[in-house]
Amino acid sequence: MVGAAEAGAIGVSGLNGHVSARAAVLAKIRHAVGDHTPAREAEYAAIPREYRRQSVLSREVTVDLLADRLRDYDAHIYRCAGHEIAQTVASAMAERGKTTLLRAARLPAEWLPSSFRFPVVDGLSYEEIDQAEGVITGCVAAIALTGTIVLRHGPHDSRRALTLIPDYHLCVVFAEQVVETVPEGFERLRGMETLPLTTVSGPSATADIEMTRVKGVHGPRFLDVILVG
């Protein structure tokens, strides 16, 4: 567990604190479990894995499956070609009545239509982020079978707060980022083990013991996804 002192350090140091605290916790877990000796690695490799680990679908069908899953989760889907991203972003924002979306500093400029505003989130407080109309991001992977989009956070990506606090999220997903199965998704994330990751399957929603569905508890109430290609 992260103690009070560690939690305080996380709050003060922001994203770097999150990353270092996470690494410290994982190091303690590895120490408790034991060293990754060749024998342990062999035992792990020998575990039966009878579930499907590779796609059997074409790229087109895989992307269609992701779109269907996201629609089931109440997300709105746009489809476009690579040169139409800015135009599609403008259409999505106009349909939602948005004029300004927050973004990470390194979000590609060619995605952003000139008729709207896209302030960089760096340096903004949680309160300022909360008052924003929404956010636009890319992703690092998407899993069609579960309708899941994977967002990466770190020094060169968006702050995690950017995708958790605003009420509206517009996400750009490229066809080549979409895989069919969860194991393929984890393969896409290899090398990102030390970075914070957020998984999104539709707008944020939860239900209490009486099964009353409430949106926006853990993130944006509204999710639009632009599938490119």
At 4 the pLDDT is 42
Residue 81: pLDDT band (50, 70, 90) is: very high
Does the structure show a pLDDT above 70 at 16? no
Q: Quick one: tokens of 8?
A: 């305080």
208 within 8 A of 159, measured Cβ to Cβ: no
Between 152 and 35, the more confident residue is 152
Query: What's the pLDDT tens digit per position in 169-206?
Result: 999 999 999 999 999 999 999 998 888 999 999 887 77
Write down the mean pLDDT value for the chain. 86
One-letter amino acid identity for 224? D
Average pLDDT of span 136-146? 96
Does the structure show a pLDDT above 60 at 15? no
Query: What's the pLDDT tens digit per position in 41-78?
Result: 788 788 888 878 788 889 999 999 999 999 999 999 99
Average pLDDT of span 150-176? 90
User: CB within 8 A of 80, min separation 6: which ones?
Assistant: 87, 88, 226, 227, 228
Helix or strand run (H / E) with residue 226? strand 222-228
Instruction: Give the residues across from 171 on adjacent strands.
Output: 137, 225
* 130 vs 134: CA distance, rounded Å: 9
Between 175 and 159, the more confident residue is 175
At 17 the pLDDT is 57
Q: Which domains are delineated in the chain?
A: 4-45 (no CATH), 59-228 (3.40.50.10420)
At 36 the pLDDT is 63
Query: What's the pLDDT tens digit per position in 204-225?
Result: 777 767 777 777 677 899 999 9
* 127 vs 58: CA distance, rounded Å: 44
At 167 the pLDDT is 94
Average pLDDT of span 154-160? 78
127 within 8 A of 163, measured Cβ to Cβ: no
Q: Please state, in angstroms and as integers, the Cα–Cα distance from residue 6 to each residue in 13, 22, 42, 133, following that order.
A: 11, 10, 35, 33
Which of 69-83, 90-104, 142-156 shows the lowest per-residue confidence on average (mean pLDDT)? 142-156
Does the structure show a pLDDT above 70 at 2? no
CA neighbor of 108 nearest in space, from 155, 177, 156, 151: 156
Q: pTM higher than 0.85 for the full model?
A: no
Does the structure show a pLDDT above 70 at 149? yes
Between 177 and 38, the more confident residue is 177
